[in-house]
Chains A and B, each alone.
Chain A
Amino acid sequence: MNGGNTSKHTSYDEKVKRLSPKSEKPMSLVKAFVVGGLICVLGQLIRDTGLAFGLDEEAAALLCTFLLIFLSALLTGLGVYDKLGRFAGAGSIVPITGFANSMVSPAMEFKREGYITGVGAKMFVIAGPVLVYGICSSILVGLIYFFLRIAFKG
């Protein structure tokens, strides 16, 4: 039966499409924009405060990353970040706080399966693919940059 897309299934697919409610696109875009934007404003605020207190550019950027990750982990632990995620969608998933949430939440969830086979093994279950493809593409881009530089120097 599986894979056999007969006309019966096609007409059923049309029913499913017609009767399944759609996500409210414009509203969820606005929510994502506002929350995502606010997270970035907070980051900027931390960075500027760091600079005002005499940190150099690099240290200020690091401070910003650390604090955002810490806040996200804290809010995840307090059971707030999932509610924010439900409201904001990609707005709270895409910034670095979303990445932290994707590591802290499985770590909390799988603690009962032990620190090695649970927390250790499952911590990267969501963030893992991001890391794998993030690192792979950074290597790829680095190689392209490297060869382009040789080509243009030569």
Chain B
Amino acid sequence: MNRNTKRRGRQSYVLPSKPRVKSFAAIAGKKEGEGPFGADFDIVISDDTLGEKSWERAESRMLEDVIRLCLEKKDLLAEGVDAFLGGDLLNQIVSASFAARQLGMPFLGLYGACSTMAESLLIGSMLIDGGFAQNVVCATCSHFSTAERQYRFPLEMGSVRPPYAQWTVTGAGATALTAEQNHPIAIESLTLGAVVDYNQNDENNMGAAMAPAAADTLRRHLTEMNRSADYYDLIVTGDLGRVGQALFEELCADHKIELKGRYMDCGSEIFAPEQNLYAGGSGCGCSAVVLNGKLLKEMERGERRRMLFMATGALLSPTTTLQGESIPGIAHAVSLEVC
């Protein structure tokens, strides 16, 4: 028996059972709510502490809330979820595991930095396609205030950022996947990204560190699935920001991939330029809220039929930055289609 019938090339996979998107939800912070997608989010929180005593607790609560909301929308019970796949940016991915403690679901903690939304969808859809699970929840979150204190400076410090820096999105997104076939949006194929490092050292310029990984994953996906970019209505990257987006577009042009008008980056679009948040949004929550707040809704309404979602991650830590290491990037691709 050929055990690799679902594999295409080295890194891509087709899912013959086409796991479906059953439900999705997004919660976003105030600044994100004031951005162009503000009206798309299920909940915009006005108090980013959510009444909790620490930012970390607030972030975890946001993740727990978005998962509960995602399940409630389709009357799914926590007991009916076979696995919760998720992660976040905090050390030891505590936001996700603390949320899992409250939810009482079997839990697989993932760390892919800001690529976590795609990573969780990738593994979740494989679990369903492999017949191991009926329903899974894929979710991730980030919070500006927890990311700042872990990666950068205290909030009240009067420091200056370069104009190409990005702003961590406060938000959480959840997608429930199911083996049931009576839902319109399906996950059709996947490409597991490789770590790509073009020797970028500036931790403020994460778009530059991640763009090569995104271009590599896209090129592999299109080659291995034998497609051209115009197969998709929309190709989405996670949080390259305006600098990373420009770099990604150039790298794609170098690979002779024509994106023309069918490409967006969640980080570049989540904030309006007049919000003055440097090169745009970043963080696990960035692509999670745009996917679960806006893009899946557009697919559900039939406005888009085929979408390639590629969340991008910068795999650095504050320690490796201080030790002068370069920043490895990663991107995973999930192909969604309306059946």
User: Which of A4, A16, A77, A92 contacts B205 (CB under 8 A)?
Assistant: A16
User: Which of A19, A23, A84 contacts B158 (CB under 8 A)?
Assistant: A84
User: Most A CB atoms within 10 A — which of B54, B157, B243?
Assistant: B157
Question: Is A104 close to B, CB under 8 A?
Answer: yes
Decide yes or no: A126 and B157 within 8 Å by CB, A1-B197, A12-B198 being known contacts.
yes
Interface positions of A from 1 to 15, Cβ below 8 Å from B: 1-5, 8-9, 12-13, 15
By the criterion CB–CB under 8 Å, are A101 and B158 in contact?
Answer: yes
Mask for A64-103, Cβ within 8 A of B = 1, else 0?
A: 0000000000001101011111101110110000100110
Decide yes or no: A81 and B156 within 8 Å by CB, A9-B199, A20-B208 being known contacts.
yes
How many residue pairs, one in A and one in B, have C-beta atoms under 8 Å apart?
102
Question: Is B200 close to A, CB under 8 A?
Answer: yes
**Across-interface contacts of B322 in A (CB, < 8 A):** none
Query: How many residues of chain A get a CB closer than 8 Å to chain B's CBs?
Result: 43
User: Which of A4, A15, A108 contacts B199 (CB under 8 A)?
Assistant: A4
**Across-interface contacts of B158 in A (CB, < 8 A):** 76, 81-86, 88, 92-93, 98, 101, 105
**Across-interface contacts of A92 in B (CB, < 8 A):** 158
Question: Is A21 close to B, CB under 8 A?
Answer: yes
Task: Tell me, in angstroms, the Cα distance from A137 to B32 when the chains sit together.
Answer: 46
Decide yes or no: A105 and B246 within 8 Å by CB, A23-B163, A85-B160, A86-B160 being known contacts.
no
Mask for B147-176, Cβ within 8 A of A = 1, else 0?
A: 001000111111111111000000000000
Question: Is B247 close to A, CB under 8 A?
Answer: yes
SS class, residues of chain A in contact with chain B: helix
By the criterion CB–CB under 8 Å, are A82 and B155 in contact?
Answer: yes
**How far is the CB of B56 from the nearest CB of chain A, in Å?**
8
Interface positions of B from 179 to 202, Cβ below 8 Å from A: 197-200
User: Which of B54, B159, B197 contacts A85 (CB under 8 A)?
Assistant: B159
By the criterion CB–CB under 8 Å, are B198 and A105 in contact?
Answer: no
Decide yes or no: A20 and B153 within 8 Å by CB, A2-B199, A3-B199 being known contacts.
no
Decide yes or no: A105 and B208 within 8 Å by CB, A19-B247, A19-B250 being known contacts.
no
**How far is the CB of B330 from the nearest CB of chain A, in Å?**
13
Chain B minimum-CB-distance residue to A111: B54
Q: Give A residues with C-beta under 8 Å from B.
A: 1-5, 8-9, 12-13, 15-16, 19-24, 28, 76-77, 79, 81-86, 88-90, 92-93, 98, 101-102, 104-106, 108-110, 112, 126
Q: Give B residues with C-beta under 8 Å from A.
A: 53-54, 149, 153-164, 197-200, 205, 208, 212, 243, 246-247, 250, 279, 325-326, 328
Query: Could you give 18 example pairs across A and B, Cβ below 8 Å?
Result: A12-B247, A20-B163, A20-B164, A20-B208, A21-B279, A79-B156, A82-B156, A82-B159, A83-B158, A85-B157, A85-B159, A86-B161, A88-B158, A90-B160, A102-B157, A105-B158, A109-B155, A110-B154
